[in-house]
Structure 1
Amino acid sequence: MGDVGYTLIYEPNSAIKTSVNEFKTLLEKGKDEVKIDTMKKILITILNGDPMPDLLMHIIRFIMPSKNKELKKLLYFYWEVCPKLDESGKMRHEMILVCNAIQRDLQHPNEYIRGNTLRYLNKLKEPELLETLVPNVRQCLEHRHAYVRKNAVFALHSIHKVSDHLAPDADELIYRFLYEEADAVCKRNAFVCLGDLNRDAALQYIQDNISVIETLDPLLQLAFIEFIKKDSLDNPNLNQQYAQLLTEIVESSSNVVVYEAANTLSLLTSAPSSILLVGTKFVELATKESDNNVKIITLERINELHKKHPGVLQELSLEILRVLSSQDLDVRKKALDVTLKFITSRNVEDVVKLLKKELQAASSSNDEKAAEYRQLLINAIHQMAIKFVEVAADVIDLLLDSIANLNTTAAYEVITFVKEVVEKFPNLRESILARLIDALPFVKSGKVLRGALWIIGEYALEQSLVQLSWKYIRSSVGEVPIIAAEKKSLNAENEEDEHSDNKVKRGPVILPDGTYATESALTAEVHDSDDASKTPIRKQIMAGDFYLGAVLSSTLVKLILRLQKLGTSEKIMNALKAEALLIMVSILRVGESSLVSKKIDEDSADRILSYIKILNDEEDVDTINTGFLEDTKDAFRAQIESAEVKKQQALAKDFHDNAEQVDDAIVFRQLDKNTRKSKANVDDVVAASGGNVKKENLSSRLNKILPLTGFSDPIYAEAFVKVHQYDVVLDVLLVNQTTTTLRNLSVEFATLGDLKVVDKPATANIGPHGFHKVQTTIKVTSADTGVIFGNIVYDGQHSNESTIVILNDVHVDIMDYIKPATCSETQFRKMWNEFEWENKITIKSQMDSLKDYMDELMKGTNMNCLTPGAVIGEECQFLSANLYSRSSFGEDALANLCIEKQSDGPIIGHVRIRSKGQGLALSLGDRVASISKKNKKVALARV
């Protein structure tokens, strides 16, 4: 019943009280503005538990005759809450006057006053008062104004529900009204009431309108759907007929009706044709509707349908991808996620073609979100190629073609994808590697080149591929030794500059027609800079990427070892070894020279030196071959298998969560612990049926009790803090420690931070040494440090005195809102670069081991470790790991832990925390600092 609601009123200051006599004076003598303010105060006081029955006659005398619209509105609020019965439980005599006033308002010439009065009748539950008003309500059903008629229908329905003998023919009246009425809202209200009063009459009305059901007003169509949804629960034998009816309603012109009809149809039937129709309608809504939230909701509905009816909606995959035309990334991501679940070998090629077009369009787009969208598309294509071998080669070609247009992150995703494909599909390796080598000259990122060189080193197994790889590496490194070549290049450039300075004629250029030539940035000849003319690998090394130099050296070693294994002639092998050694020594020498802005790091230098030694080692050939040609590949294979197992486990868990077991216990609501049966019996029944009885831990409850005042204060208060999803509820116990009654006592709370007090406890009188409980709710809007503070106010000996007791602060524990979460390495790095707030905490802890500290940190901050194998045995004295958590409000918290265990001292290091907002970073930082102070060993001397 849409128009029936409740009014919530906030009391600004419960400590300031107005007496009944003061209210009476204000009602008698005040102007309309004063009366309005007084009526509001009266309503607040009544809602807070003081009925003030003595005011009724004054309000009848001084407020009821007023013609002020706002006063009349407040008056009807008052009639709703005022005490209508006397102490003996009989109707108060004054209510006859009220009844007369209501009757006059039901005949008022102003239709809005009539309508407002009819709305009030929905809240009036006394048959004695309603009895005299029934004729007026009937009369209002024929009023010329629709606002009156629509409220009259609800009023008649409400009167019938209170006492059916007051309007015994209400259903007949409403049924006739339905056929005579022309206004859509009135018809909808009438049908809703009819459905509740007389099911058969409602069914008859639907039956009479079947032929025109598609053309009916959307409001009435929605009422039909709601009726069908409720009635199908009590009469499942009609589900088939209702399904046919909904199949017609679902063709409505209103998107709201289509959504509701499709949703209800999916509940009533599991016939493939109906489910396909529902899916089609959801796809249409996701495509047509402009609101992004609606798109995401309908896509989620399609996802749920697929879970319940697998295999039915597969032909909709291309239709769903039409939603990609939306500019919102969340919508696009949802569309891709849903579509990937529908992919089969029959439709995979069509989907790949469509995503190809999208990727090409995104590559040429200058939109700021195009890069993120490209990454989404690459991830989707990646998943399809791994699942369906028949499109893998085609997909690799597509991605490698577009690698030059991708940013570093997306290009690295492509290389990661290529790694996985060449490992999983050995028959495609040769063609993929040849294609990869062709694409590498266009790669600009050192990170992507490193990944590509690793693939070449591991999977170039045939002699032809090794030769092709070597040719690319040799051309990409350029002329060696690097230092000599660079100096020669610099000298040549200097000479050329001098030569050109002497030769070039300074002055204007005269064209054949006699005019002076003008030169712009567009027509001027652009000379390639030295940097641009360099080959990719050489350019990265000269820019200081010596890690790439180390990976290149490793790849050269692998290629030479593989050629040795393939039985290449010694003459060729010696030449290639010499070339490899020359390249490695050149990288080392240029790293120490003044030609580079950044010197080579120790790790890269050590690695390259070790590769030089390995190439010259003629003794441990078998060990070297195993380490370079087998172990790394085996490790990568194990990593892929582990990821596959995790993926399968996630799918199995998802399936298990959505499946119903044949031996599942049946839960009877009548036996639920909230019913009147004894709790012990209920626990026995739950335990016998296989359920877990969760008993509240008393000690954990005691830990959450906080004293708000001291024992020496006149009133002692303590609060039990309960945390719900987005709320903090304070149960406050108040104890009067004096021998007098504390009158008009109120507890007032205020907050600092992203907290908001939702409701206020009512005022109360507490007797000598009496106990009183109050409760208040505080809404939490972010995982930020919040403080709740307040005071207790009560009246003193004289009416104009009041005593205030200040309460202790309550700090909200943000850990209740932070949960461990997982994300990919790419997402972590992206967020790490984007988040602007960082909090670095230096650590000095006395804990026994690095693992103990990390476990304590994860437990204390509710963070999840994203670094697999972060702790490697006890022999390693250093630990580095990435941690991640997410708050209930969607805020991300990232942490990087970097610690070492000193041989004879504490654990030292630091934790860097990053988040989008300052509050979360600071709060987690405080938490980390407190964890570091734990377990400090203090030597105690015996006294």
Structure 2
Amino acid sequence: MGYTLIYEPNAASKTSVNEFKTLLEKGKDDVKVDTMKKILVTIINGDPLPDLLMHIIRFIMPSKNKELKKLLYFYWEVCPKLDESGKMRHEMILVCNAIQRDLQHPNEYIRGNTLRYLTKLKEPDLLETLVPNVRQCLEHRHAYVRKNAVLALYSIHKVSDHLVPDADELIYRYLYEENDSVCKRNAFICLGDLNRDAALQYIQDNIYLIETLDPLLQLAFIEFIRKDAILNPSLKSEYTQLVTEIIEAASNVVVYEAANTLTSLTTNPQSILLAASKFVDLATTEADNNVKIITLQRINELNKAHPGVLQELSLEILRVLSSQDLDVRKKALDVTLQFVTSRNVEDVVKLLKKELEKTMSSNEDKSAEYRQLLINAIHQLAIQFIEVAANVIDLLLDSISDLNNTAAYEVITFVKEVVEKFPELRQPIISRLIQALPAVKSGKVFRGAFWIIGEYALEESSVLEVWRYIRSSIGEVPIIASERKILEGGNNGDDSEYTNGSTEKSKKGPVVLPDGTYATETALTVDYNQNQENSKTPIRKHILSGDFYLAAVLASTLVKLILRLQRLKVEAKVLNGLKAEALLILVSILRVGESSYVSKKIDEDSADRIFSYIRLLNDEEDVELIQTSFLDDTKDAFKAQIESAEAKKAEVEAKALHKNAEQIDDAISFRQFDKNGGSKTINEDEEAITSGTGVKKEDLSSRLNKILQLTGFSDPIYAEAFVKVHQFDVVLDVLLVNQTTTTLRNLSVEFATLGDLKVVDKPATANIGPHGFHKVQTTVKVTSADTGVIFGNLVYDGQHSDESTIVILNDVHVDIMDYIKPATCSESQFRKMWNEFEWENKITIKSPIETLKQYLEELMKGTNMTCLTPGAVIGEECQFLSANLYSRSSFGEDALANLCIEKQTNGPIIGHVRIRSKGQGLALSLGDRVASISRKTKKTAINAV
């Protein structure tokens, strides 16, 4: 039995019964309306006010005011109808007469409203005299009256069946005479509960017209079938046939419900396929994006429950890609990828290629993100099915110049994986990649491409082909000399600004001529400089702009190519020439990195790497060791990374399969042998949904851990709060105890907040007697995962009216960990967010925790973050640890963290954690959490007390 509490603004200043009587007697209609509302609130909150019944009958019942009449029926619903001895009060005869008059009222809305009230009335003595009038209303000319009359009749029968013994027959006859769809729907629902056989007979009579019936009645049929099939499994085949006919209805709502019901009635592959195809139709035809996502999710669930049945729908689902919403497109791609097999993979890839070509010419806001989704989908298909891999790579490498940096890097990552997994495709892919390099613009993409070429260019022809490209892309070397020549050519041979073989950039600003006037620069000069800039080769342009990470990768690639030629036993003359050329390029990069021709000087790491490569090229003694390190070890490391990722994926798939699989030793459930006699009242699907919501029964003892003391034991009033965190709000249940021997009058609790919190409601004012208890509740809205503080005070009146006492409450800190959940994302997504997020909080760590592994586990546990770095949870012998962590708040805020720590010999763990987020609050809050974890000390054992 549920109950309702209505908010009272001020519980301390209650209106007395006499005041209510006076207001009812002498007030005007608007005053009476306010008074009735106050009376209703008082009754609902527990004070029955029995003395007011006669006054309301005398002064409110005769009124013609529509709002008063509406409130009057609310009052009849909650007012006490029985006296102290449990018998019906005599005044209710007058009420019954008034209800009877309203049931015969010429206004159909008053009649309908009165009939609605009768569904709430549970006293047979009152209902008995009203039955004839309700029967008459079944034949009223207005549908509003008739639809409520059916429900009233059904409700009266449920209260006491002897009042309307023929209710089912009456409703059955009424169904054939009625034309209004809402009335018929109401009547059928009532009939289904009162007389199952009569409801079945009605369905049987309408079976040939079932497709043309009104959608409301069709929905009522479906609901009846779904419930009755559980109680009578023997009829499932007939019901399946019936629902198969209803599923062809014109209404989308009926189609959705019929498809859902069909999947619960049968496991026949044809029926499951029919239901899924209807879901696909809904996803493509319905305009609402939420409907599209829900129906796609239902298809996904069907595929898990019935693997292999829905594979032919893959191309149909991809029609949903015509939607403009990115979430819908993502869901459609995710669902489709699960249906793809070697039979339909080529058709799916063709369709995805067409979509990708469309995005190249599209000007949509989110076309870049959509392109990324398509590339990821094609990537997964190519990794899974070798027959489409080569064809797909050609397409993606052709379009690499049209892609943005992120999408182009995704293509390179994808090529990297395909080249490793399919050795037979390596040679054509490497040749195709070399041809695509001139179209590459991004340094990041160059780095990935060079790594692939360095690892997998295994033939002499490929090595020499890529060498020619690199040589032409770097341009004339030494770089400094050629750049100086270009600048001198641009300055008409005036090299007065160059001294001692170095150059200084000309100062920007106005040039003053000898006559004191400013020099002017013509458009021709500007165009010439612009052309000089544009004429630079791609890799040279990146080096001069300060991308020395690319330069270091290029140097590594050159070393690998030389070592590869050495292993292939290339002619010494050719090898020495290429080695000399490589040394010249590397030295040239180092020199230009220290000069003023570059935007920023070379960093120490890149310089050290390039120096080491120069030494390795000149090393004639440890050739085999160098070859093994450069040509074998890096490839093996990448192979191990791919295998690890595949093992994780296989583990997830195995878990999903195991979850849906039925073990051979599982107990078989016979519904007939169930202790309830096989009777269930809810649909199995609904039960599964209810049980899968994750709502756990609260352990009452756990509440004790969340109780906070707000005032001291010696304060005149003691207060404590139980803090309950919901998804987007915090509820404070405050218990107040009067510790004095006097009544505390007009006591109110006032709360205020700091941070992204907002107090939604103010607790009511109350009077608390000597040593009395009082509970108040307030809700605080949370808008972000930020550290919030709730503070406040208690105020109550003193002995004189102008006195008041204030008790300050202890602060309540909202724990952000209730809003932060572990999450996962790909490495590319992590890097993208890391570059985009502007707020960073760097926390220095000095922790006494014994091992790096323990510290990482404590950090993940304390911050609710997931470790994204594979193999980060390592053995205890390593002294260094670097890992990326990620979590997401309930409000959709992303939190990234990078951990770099070192274990000192016989000392603490030192290092730092960098946290990044879009908003400042989350970064600071997580930083405080990390700092508190680092301060945790070792627990010392107590030897003696």
TM-score grouping bracket, smaller chain normalisation: 0.7 to 0.9
- What is the CA–CA distance in structure 1 between the aligned matches of 2:214 and 2:698, rounded to whole Å? 53
1:222 to 219, 224, 240: 219
Question: Once the 2 structures are TM-superposed, how far is the Cα of residue 473 of structure 1 from its aligned partner?
Answer: 1.4
Instruction: Please give the secondary structure, in 1, of the residue aligned with 2:210.
Output: helix
- What is the CA–CA distance in structure 1 between the aligned matches of 2:260 and 2:837, rounded to whole Å? 40
- What is the CA–CA distance in structure 2 between the aligned matches of 1:805 and 1:103, rounded to whole Å? 57
Question: Once the 2 structures are TM-superposed, how far is the Cα of residue 497 of structure 1 from its aligned partner?
Answer: 12
- The letter for the 2-side match of 1:431 is P
- What is the CA–CA distance in structure 2 between the aligned matches of 1:802 and 1:87, rounded to whole Å? 42
- The letter for the 1-side match of 2:65 is N
1:49–1:763 distance in 2 versus 1, CA, 3 Å:
farther
Is 1:450 equivalent to 2:452 in the alignment?
no
Q: Which one is further off, 833-842 or 319-328?
A: 833-842
Which residue pairs with 1:566 in the alignment? 568
Q: Is the 8 A contact 1:845 1:936 kept in 2?
A: no
Which residue pairs with 1:285 in the alignment? 282
Query: Which structure ranks higher in relative contact order (CA pairs < 8 Å, sequence separation ≥ 6)?
Result: 2
Question: Once the 2 structures are TM-superposed, how far is the Cα of residue 54 of structure 1 from its aligned partner?
Answer: 1.4
- What is the CA–CA distance in structure 1 between the aligned matches of 2:664 and 2:20, rounded to whole Å? 67
1:94 to 88, 91, 94: 91
Q: Is the 8 A contact 2:5 2:45 kept in 1?
A: no
Which residue pairs with 1:607 in the alignment? 609
Is 1:140 equivalent to 2:140 in the alignment?
no
- What is the CA–CA distance in structure 1 between the aligned matches of 2:21 and 2:147, rounded to whole Å? 37
Instruction: Please give the secondary structure, in 2, of the residue aligned with 1:258.
Output: helix
- Cα RMSD between the aligned structures? 3.5
> 1:795-814, aligned counterparts within 5 Å?
807-814=809-816
Q: Which one is further off, 408-417 or 812-821?
A: 812-821
1:426–1:752 distance in 2 versus 1, CA, 3 Å:
same
Q: Is the 8 A contact 1:845 1:906 kept in 2?
A: yes
Which residue pairs with 1:686 in the alignment? none
1:414–1:932 distance in 2 versus 1, CA, 3 Å:
same
Instruction: Please give the secondary structure, in 1, of the residue aligned with 2:82.
Output: coil
Is 1:167 equivalent to 2:187 in the alignment?
no
Q: Is the 8 A contact 2:10 2:766 kept in 1?
A: no
Q: Is the 8 A contact 2:737 2:771 kept in 1?
A: yes
- What is the CA–CA distance in structure 2 between the aligned matches of 1:780 and 1:64, rounded to whole Å? 46
1:181 to 178, 182, 185: 178
Question: Once the 2 structures are TM-superposed, how far is the Cα of residue 170 of structure 1 from its aligned partner?
Answer: 1.0
> 1:860-879, aligned counterparts within 5 Å?
860-870=862-872, 879=881
2:883 to 881, 884, 887: 881
Q: Give TM-score scaled by structure 1 length.
A: 0.88
Question: Once the 2 structures are TM-superposed, how far is the Cα of residue 14 of structure 1 from its aligned partner?
Answer: 2.8
Question: Once the 2 structures are TM-superposed, how far is the Cα of residue 17 of structure 1 from its aligned partner?
Answer: 1.9
Question: Once the 2 structures are TM-superposed, how far is the Cα of residue 704 of structure 1 from its aligned partner?
Answer: 2.1
Q: Structure 1 vs Structure 2: percent identity of aligned residues?
A: 83
Deviations 1:438-490 (A, max 9, x none): 00100000010010000001001111211212122112222211111222222
Which residue pairs with 2:658 in the alignment? 656
Question: Once the 2 structures are TM-superposed, how far is the Cα of residue 858 of structure 1 from its aligned partner?
Answer: 2.5
Instruction: Please give the secondary structure, in 2, of the residue aligned with 1:215.
Output: coil
Q: Which one is further off, 377-386 or 117-126?
A: 117-126
Question: Once the 2 structures are TM-superposed, how far is the Cα of residue 419 of structure 1 from its aligned partner?
Answer: 0.6
Q: Give TM-score scaled by structure 2 length.
A: 0.87
- What is the CA–CA distance in structure 2 between the aligned matches of 1:232 and 1:293, rounded to whole Å? 30
Deviations 1:77-105 (A, max 9, x none): 11111111111111111111111111111
Instruction: Please give the secondary structure, in 2, of the residue aligned with 1:868.
Output: coil
- The letter for the 2-side match of 1:235 is N
2:721 to 712, 719, 728: 719
1:706 to 703, 708, 719: 708
Which residue pairs with 1:465 in the alignment? 462
Deviations 1:330-355 (A, max 9, x none): 00000000000000000000000000
> 1:298-309, aligned counterparts within 5 Å?
298-309=295-306
Deviations 1:184-209 (A, max 9, x none): 11111111111111111111111111
- What is the CA–CA distance in structure 1 between the aligned matches of 2:453 and 2:643, rounded to whole Å? 21
1:810–1:88 distance in 2 versus 1, CA, 3 Å:
farther
- The letter for the 1-side match of 2:828 is T
Q: Is the 8 A contact 1:266 1:275 kept in 2?
A: yes
- What is the CA–CA distance in structure 2 between the aligned matches of 1:222 and 1:253, rounded to whole Å? 12
Q: Which one is further off, 788-797 or 865-874?
A: 788-797
> 1:92-131, aligned counterparts within 5 Å?
92-131=89-128
Q: Which one is further off, 369-378 or 654-663?
A: 654-663
Deviations 1:708-752 (A, max 9, x none): 222123342323334455564555544443446778988776766
Question: Once the 2 structures are TM-superposed, how far is the Cα of residue 531 of structure 1 from its aligned partner?
Answer: 2.7
Question: Once the 2 structures are TM-superposed, how far is the Cα of residue 620 of structure 1 from its aligned partner?
Answer: 0.9
- What is the CA–CA distance in structure 2 between the aligned matches of 1:899 and 1:44, rounded to whole Å? 62
1:472–1:908 distance in 2 versus 1, CA, 3 Å:
same
Which residue pairs with 1:540 in the alignment? 542
Q: Which one is further off, 199-208 or 867-876?
A: 867-876
- The letter for the 1-side match of 2:787 is T
Question: Once the 2 structures are TM-superposed, how far is the Cα of residue 639 of structure 1 from its aligned partner?
Answer: 0.1
Is 1:65 equivalent to 2:34 in the alignment?
no
Question: Once the 2 structures are TM-superposed, how far is the Cα of residue 212 of structure 1 from its aligned partner?
Answer: 1.1
Question: Once the 2 structures are TM-superposed, how far is the Cα of residue 309 of structure 1 from its aligned partner?
Answer: 1.0
Q: Which one is further off, 842-851 or 282-291?
A: 842-851
Question: Once the 2 structures are TM-superposed, how far is the Cα of residue 819 of structure 1 from its aligned partner?
Answer: 1.5
Is 1:591 equivalent to 2:588 in the alignment?
no
Is 1:892 equivalent to 2:889 in the alignment?
no
- What is the CA–CA distance in structure 2 between the aligned matches of 1:753 and 1:497, rounded to whole Å? 64
- What is the CA–CA distance in structure 2 between the aligned matches of 1:72 and 1:42, rounded to whole Å? 15
1:368 to 357, 365, 369: 365
- What is the CA–CA distance in structure 1 between the aligned matches of 2:365 and 2:584, rounded to whole Å? 44
- The letter for the 1-side match of 2:570 is T
Is 1:435 equivalent to 2:435 in the alignment?
no
Is 1:197 equivalent to 2:174 in the alignment?
no
Deviations 1:376-428 (A, max 9, x none): 00000000000000001001101101111111111111111111101010000
- What is the CA–CA distance in structure 2 between the aligned matches of 1:610 and 1:552, rounded to whole Å? 13
Which residue pairs with 1:345 in the alignment? 342
- What is the CA–CA distance in structure 2 between the aligned matches of 1:325 and 1:6, rounded to whole Å? 48
1:267 to 243, 248, 264: 264
Q: Which runs of 5+ in 1 are unaligned?
A: 499-520, 670-693, 939-943
Instruction: Please give the secondary structure, in 1, of the residue aligned with 2:88.
Output: coil
1:695–1:298 distance in 2 versus 1, CA, 3 Å:
closer
Is 1:83 equivalent to 2:80 in the alignment?
yes
Instruction: Please give the secondary structure, in 1, of the residue aligned with 2:316.
Output: helix
1:817–1:66 distance in 2 versus 1, CA, 3 Å:
same
- The letter for the 1-side match of 2:552 is A
Which residue pairs with 1:859 in the alignment? 861
Deviations 1:782-820 (A, max 9, x none): 433344456667888899999776543432212122111
Is 1:491 equivalent to 2:488 in the alignment?
yes
